[in-house]
Amino acid sequence: MFLRNALRAATALTLVAAGSAAADTITIATVNNGDMIRMQGLTDDFTTKTGHEVEWVTLEENVLRQRVTTDISTKGGAFDIMTIGMYETPIWGANGWLVALDNLSEGYDVDDILPAMAGGLSHEGTLYAAPFYGESSMIMYRTDLMEKAGLEMPDAPTWDFIRQAAAAMTDRDAEINGVCLRGKAGWGEGGAFITAMSNSFGARWFDMDWKPQFDTAAWANTLNFYKGMMDESGPAGYATNGFNENLSLFQQGKCGMWIDATVAASFVTNPNDSTVADKVGFALAPDTGLGKRSNWLWAWALAIPAGTQKQDAALQFIEWATSKDYIELVAANEGWANVPPGARTSLYENPNYQAVPFAQMTLDSILSADPNNSTVEPSPYVGVQFAAIPEFAGIATEVSQEFSAAYAGQQTVEEALEKAQALTIDAMEAAGY
Amino acid sequence: MARAVTQQRKIINTTAAWAVGLLIFFPILWTILTSFKTEAQAIADPPVFLAFDWTLENYGVVMERSNYGRFLWNSIIIAGGSTILGIIIAVPAAWSMAFVPSKRTKDILLWMLSTKMLPAVGVLYPIYLLFIKLGLLDTKIGLMIVLMLINLPIIVWMLYTYFKEIPGEILEAARMDGATLREEVIHILTPMAIPGIASTLLLNVILAWNEAFWTLNLTAAKAAPLTAFIASYSSPEGLFYAKLSAASTMAIAPILILGWFSQKQLVSGLTFGAVK
């Protein structure tokens, strides 16, 4: 026993000595949101355990995307860890720009990562980024207004029910809009929402020959339904509303329903910020009975660029930040409602977390989104609310601008779809598809 | 009667000037006000103007989360350094163009200005690769050089305009008295063009302080100035308007104070030679 303890002590001392000797300062590029800010606040725990210091570069999402893309594509080496999403990971992994995360330690329990997340952050079966938190989208609705309208929200409603409920909840005199949805141009804003919604209407971006599909009835149905419902029951100026605008409306009690990212659940149920915190219910994103729901799948994940000189320290940080222990650490400091959601299976088996009101619906939403099989008809791309090809961000931004112009009444839905079809054909031909 | 009309016109002009001034200043005022609100008050509809519970909480959070001092220091060094470098290069350049012009001087001036029409993103990759090769990525000296080059056309143009107003005969007289070229530029030309140089200097500091494309794209953690500090509080997924406003107020405060105290020099420099 003594010998074993002595050996353990010697090993621990060696590890600490080795850690101190090789202490590095790593630079991490990340986005500004609640989970990331909490992680920055807890970095001392990582430094204490490993000896490595951390320097943070926090940027707005779109600025970060441009910044890290420039750096990684030139092998600049400005960052040792980058926060990237499900869109970039498979593309950058295929380009050889990221270090494969195929040597994670046994204690890390890589198999505990939710399969949908691991699948979306891999290329040809190799994991290239570890999910820090994951999200899908779901319905957040006002239970009091639903009751007042004499309706009951099913766990898995259809779009027809949502339209009917939205009309019943709308009260223009009381400034209550039945439904608030993203309409703002941008591939990650209104573009993401309408793409996820189109999946449930049987639409897809491309057929198996990469031919754009905006000239199909499924896309016309999607846009006409969206615009019709929003004109009837949406807020004024919905064509320019994104996540933040709708969050603000919902928190002020001006939306009956809001379909958006599952991470919003912790905002709208926070009594410090939300006037309706105790009147919010959750349901799966709607469908039309075709077999696909309109929820998306996204993860903010940590990846190591191939140009880094501090790969070992970077890997240690990723293991720390995306571990089960880190979740426990956040829970101890900030409560279970504030732990990073949607990344690990074990979190949803934890009774403490099961008590959080939106936990189960978040998991159900994540599990019902499949990035490898997101459309009713077969499609050649990976991704639910995007197609994981380098050209997509540019094309989808332009397409969403056409759609927003249609929502705002500057052109008809038919005109928007015609333009979307034409510009996508041009861009795909130019890209060699 | 004529005096009454003048008085009336004076009042109208003053009112109009104040109205335009307030209109231009309103976004800054709103940012400052929002920085003292809670996040819920910041998004209130209808918006609250002054009747809210004033709080310093956002400033506290920003100070706790970010190393403001480091961002501020970087901004001072980068803006100041690029301006000094620019002036050192631009004074002799503008002197030669103003006092010993060649046939192509006008073309060169126009060509210099035309470089400002190039979209910055068009040369991002070549400059980024150069920075990697030269080891200038995330360094203050790298940014000083880039910002100096970006603003050089404006500095040269402004100094050229001021120098053109100075009679060449004075410099000629100095030369006849035995002044060397160096003495002529430093002891004769520069003192006479002080108001112009001062306003050029101030304008360049403001431009360099506010520059957000290169300062965001060529820095990481070490050389990031206040533009990166502001960017770290912007988020499309989460309401941080009050904190963003606090960060913005802290970032613009130094330059606002500098502008306020130097407005006389700025105006006199910018209108130098405007009325003959």
Nearest CA of chain A to the CA of B83: how many Å?
A: 26
Q: What is the mean pLDDT of residues B70-99?
A: 95
CA angle A155, A157, A162 (to 5 degrees): 130
Indicate whether B51 pLDDT > 90: no
Indicate whether A384 pLDDT > 70: yes
Indicate whether B2 pLDDT > 60: no
Residues of chain B contacting residue A27, judged by C-beta atoms under 8 Å apart: 220-221
d(CA B69, CA B63): 9
d(CA A420, CA A218): 14
pLDDT-based confidence at residue A14 (cuts at 50, 70, 90)? very low
What is the rounded average pLDDT for all residues in chain B? Answer: 90
Residues of chain A contacting residue B129, judged by C-beta atoms under 8 Å apart: 74
Hey, are the CB atoms on A273 and B238 less than 8 Å from each other? no
Hey, are the CB atoms on A60 and B125 less than 8 Å from each other? no
Is the CB of residue B72 less than 8 Å away from at least one CB of chain A?
no
d(CA B79, CA B82): 5
Indicate whether A4 pLDDT > 90: no
The minimal CB distance from B231 to the residues A40, A60, A244 is found for: A60
Nearest CA of chain A to the CA of B115: how many Å?
A: 23
Is the CB of residue A337 less than 8 Å away from at least one CB of chain B?
no
Hey, are the CB atoms on A32 and B128 less than 8 Å from each other? no
d(CA A78, CA A28): 9
Hey, are the CB atoms on B237 and A61 less than 8 Å from each other? yes
Site of tokens 């969206």:
A226
Hey, are the CB atoms on A267 and B129 less than 8 Å from each other? no
Hey, are the CB atoms on B216 and A75 less than 8 Å from each other? no
Nearest CA of chain B to the CA of A58: how many Å?
A: 5
Nearest CA of chain A to the CA of B152: how many Å?
A: 26
Hey, are the CB atoms on A33 and B237 less than 8 Å from each other? yes
Is residue B105 classed exposed, middle or buried when 0-12, 13-18 and 19+ CB atoms within 10 A define those classes? middle
Percent residues over pLDDT 70 in chain A: 95
d(CA B157, CA B75): 25
CA angle B30, B227, B20 (to 5 degrees): 35
Can you list the alpha helix ranges (DSSP code H) found in chain B? 2-34, 39-42, 57-65, 68-99, 105-114, 124-134, 140-164, 168-176, 181-183, 190-192, 194-210, 213-217, 226-231, 241-261, 263-270
Q: What is the DSSP string of B103-148?
A: TTHHHHHHHHHHGGGS-GGGGHHHHHHHHHHHT-TT-HHHHHHHHH
pTM, rounded to two decimals: 0.85
Name which of A329, A306, A392, A252 is nearest A43 in CA terms. Answer: A329
Per-residue pLDDT tens digits for B23-46:
999 999 999 999 999 988 888 878
Per-residue pLDDT tens digits for A130-154:
999 999 999 999 999 999 999 999 9
In Å, how far from its chain's centre is CA B218? 19
Contact of A288 with A17, CB cutoff 8 Å: no
Tell me the HSE value of A222 on the side-chain side, using a 13 A CA sphere. 28
Contact of B39 with B239, CB cutoff 8 Å: yes
Name which of A135, A136, A147, A180 is nearest A279 in CA terms. Answer: A147
Going by DSSP bridges, is the β-strand pair A122-123/A126-127 parallel, antiparallel, or unpaired?
antiparallel
Tokens of A315: 């890997």
Residues of chain B contacting residue A75, judged by C-beta atoms under 8 Å apart: 132
- At residue B267, φ and ψ (nearest 5 deg) are -65, -45
Specify the range with the lowest mean pLDDT, choosing from A318-327, A417-426, B161-170, B261-270: B261-270
What is the rounded average pLDDT for all residues in chain A? Answer: 92
pLDDT-based confidence at residue B269 (cuts at 50, 70, 90)? low
d(CA A412, CA A224): 10
ipTM above 0.95, yes or no: no
Indicate whether B4 pLDDT > 70: no
Domain A2-135+298-354, CATH homologous superfamily name and number: Periplasmic binding protein-like II (3.40.190.10)
Can you list the alpha helix ranges (DSSP code H) found in A170-242? 190-200, 217-233
Tokens of B114: 């035309």
A2-135+298-354 and A137-295+377-430 agree in CATH topology:
yes
Hey, are the CB atoms on A57 and B233 less than 8 Å from each other? no
Domain ranges of chain A: 2-135+298-354, 137-295+377-430
Name which of A90, A96, A74, A82 is nearest A36 in CA terms. Answer: A82
Residues of chain A contacting residue B237, judged by C-beta atoms under 8 Å apart: 33, 61, 243-244, 261, 263
DSSP-derived letter for residue B187 is I
Is the CB of residue B61 less than 8 Å away from at least one CB of chain A?
no
Indicate whether A332 pLDDT > 60: yes
Is the CB of residue A42 less than 8 Å away from at least one CB of chain B?
no
Percent residues over pLDDT 70 in chain B: 95
Comparing B180 with A168, the larger pLDDT belongs to A168
Is the CB of residue B232 less than 8 Å away from at least one CB of chain A?
yes
Per-residue pLDDT tens digits for A229-270:
999 999 999 999 999 899 999 999 999 999 999 989 988 998
The confidence score (pLDDT) of residue A1 equals 45
Indicate whether A50 pLDDT > 90: yes
The confidence score (pLDDT) of residue B186 equals 86
Indicate whether A8 pLDDT > 70: no
Nearest CA of chain A to the CA of B212: how many Å?
A: 11
The confidence score (pLDDT) of residue A254 equals 96
Interface of A with B in 190-249 (CB under 8 A): 242-244, 247-248
Comparing B100 with A412, the larger pLDDT belongs to A412
- Pick from B55, B67, B237 the residue to mutate for testing the A interface (most A CBs within 10 Å): B237
The confidence score (pLDDT) of residue A11 equals 46
Hey, are the CB atoms on B232 and A58 less than 8 Å from each other? yes
Q: What is the mean pLDDT of residues B182-204?
A: 87
Q: What is the mean pLDDT of residues A188-211?
A: 96
pLDDT-based confidence at residue B264 (cuts at 50, 70, 90)? confident
Q: Which domains does chain B have, with CATH numbers?
A: 68-270 (1.10.3720.10)
Residues of chain B contacting residue A273, judged by C-beta atoms under 8 Å apart: 39-40, 239
Contact of B37 with B48, CB cutoff 8 Å: yes
Fold classification of A137-295+377-430 is D-Maltodextrin-Binding Protein; domain 2 (3.40.190)
Per-residue pLDDT tens digits for A82-96:
999 999 999 999 999
Hey, are the CB atoms on B238 and A34 less than 8 Å from each other? yes
Contact of A222 with A165, CB cutoff 8 Å: no
Hey, are the CB atoms on B129 and A74 less than 8 Å from each other? yes
Nearest CA of chain B to the CA of A411: how many Å?
A: 27
Contact of A139 with A161, CB cutoff 8 Å: no
Specify the range with the lowest mean pLDDT, choosing from A106-115, B89-98, B177-186: B177-186
| Sequence-ordered list of residues with C-beta below 8 angstroms from that of B18, at least 6 positions apart, any chain | none
Residues of chain A contacting residue B246, judged by C-beta atoms under 8 Å apart: none
Angle, in degrees to the nearest 10, between helices A392-407 and A190-200? 90
pLDDT-based confidence at residue A413 (cuts at 50, 70, 90)? very high
d(CA A134, CA B58): 28
